[in-house]
Amino acid sequence: MRKPIIAGNWKMHKVRDEALEFVYLVSQHVPPIEEVDTVICAQAVLLRSLVKRQGDNLRIGAQNMFYEDKGAYTGEVSPVTLEDAGVKYVIIGHSERRQYFHETDEDVNKKVHAALRHDLIPIICVGERLEERENNLTNQVVERQTVLALKGLTQEQVKNIVIAYEPIWAIGTGRTATAEMANETCGFIRSVIAREYGQEVADEVRIQYGGSVNPDNIKELMAQEHIDGCLIGGASLDPYAFIKMANYKKL
For residues 58-87, which are near ligand 13P according to CB under 6 A? none
Q: Among 184, 190, 189, 186, which Cα is nearest to 203's?
A: 190
Give ∠ CA 42-238-231 in degrees, rounded to 5: 55
Should residue 233 be labelled a site residue for ligand 13P when binding is judged by CB under 6 A?
yes
Backbone angles phi, psi at 85, to 5 degrees: -80, -5
List the catalytic residues: 94, 166
Contact flag: residue 231 with ligand 13P (CB under 6 A): yes
Applying CB under 6 A, the span of 12-20, 43-51, 184-192, 231-239 interacting with ligand 13P comes to 231-239
- Rounded Cα distance, 204 and 69, in Å: 29
Cα 19 from chain centroid (whole Å): 19
Q: At 6, phi and psi to the nearest 5? A: -105, 115
Contact yes or no for 121/133 (Cβ under 8 A): no
213 binds ligand 13P (CB under 6 A): yes
Beta carbon of residue 127, minimum distance to ligand 13P (angstroms, whole number):
9
Q: Could you say whether residue 171 binds ligand 13P (CB under 6 A)?
A: yes
Q: Which of 232, 241, 245, 246: binder of ligand 13P (CB under 6 A)?
A: 232
93 scored as a contact of ligand 13P (CB under 6 A): no
Which parts of 86-173 are beta strand (E)?
A: 89-92, 121-126, 162-165
Q: State yes or no: residue 212 binds ligand 13P (CB under 6 A).
A: yes
**Residue 9 in contact with ligand 13P, rule: CB under 6 A:** yes
CB of 226 closer than 8 Å to CB of 187:
yes
The smaller minimum CB distance to ligand 13P, of residues 162 and 231, is found at 231
- Residues forming contacts to ligand 13P in the complex (CB under 6 A) are 9, 94, 166, 171-172, 210-213, 231-235
